[in-house]
Amino acid sequence: MNSHLMEIISREIIKSLPPKQREIYEFVIGLEDELAQKASTTEEFMALLVKHSPHRQAAKHFNLSFGQLMMTMHEIEDIINRQLEKKLKDVTWVELTDSARARKKNNKIKYFYFSINDR
């Protein structure tokens, strides 16, 4: 499955979370993304995670214990993963580049057919 497609579907799932869960999840992911942008290697990123502990910052921000925050994040991630699996079963993704190029003579554009069956 295409990583861009999974990103699009994931964003839609996150938008559909209850407001408090969405706020917690986006807060933690935002902090992690900031650290990832500062790091030039995986090792450096891991060191920044340990040093700055986005989960501890989020727990303090949302007035939760570290354990409560971690349990909430696991619940949110489980919801996201379950919904993502369910949606991916209903996805049709077909690359049509070769047949489109034969007609358009353009070698720089890729063509895809994409649909999601919503039940």
Beta-strand (E) ranges in the chain?
91-95, 112-116
Residue 87 has pLDDT above 60, yes or no: yes
Which residues constitute the domain of residue 15?
A: 3-90
Of 20 and 102, the structure prediction assigns the larger pLDDT to 20
Is 84 within a domain? yes
Residues facing residue 95 across a β-bridge:
112
Is 75 within a domain? yes
Q: Phi, psi at residue 108, to the nearest 5°? A: -100, -10
With 0-12 / 13-18 / 19 or more C-beta atoms within 10 angstroms meaning exposed / middle / buried, residue 118 is exposed
Question: Which of these ranges, 46-50, 54-58, 85-89, 114-118, has the smallest mean pLDDT?
Answer: 114-118
Number of domains in the chain: 1
Is 9 within a domain? yes
What pLDDT was estimated at residue 7?
87
Is 103 within a domain? no
**Over the stretch 41-68, which tens digit does the pLDDT of each residue have?**
999 999 999 999 999 999 999 999 999 9
Is 100 within a domain? no
Is 115 within a domain? no
Is 40 within a domain? yes
Is 54 within a domain? yes
Neighbour tally for 117: CB within 10 Å = 9
Residues 52, 37: contact at Cβ < 8 Å?
no
Residue 23 has pLDDT above 90, yes or no: yes
Residue 113 has pLDDT above 90, yes or no: no
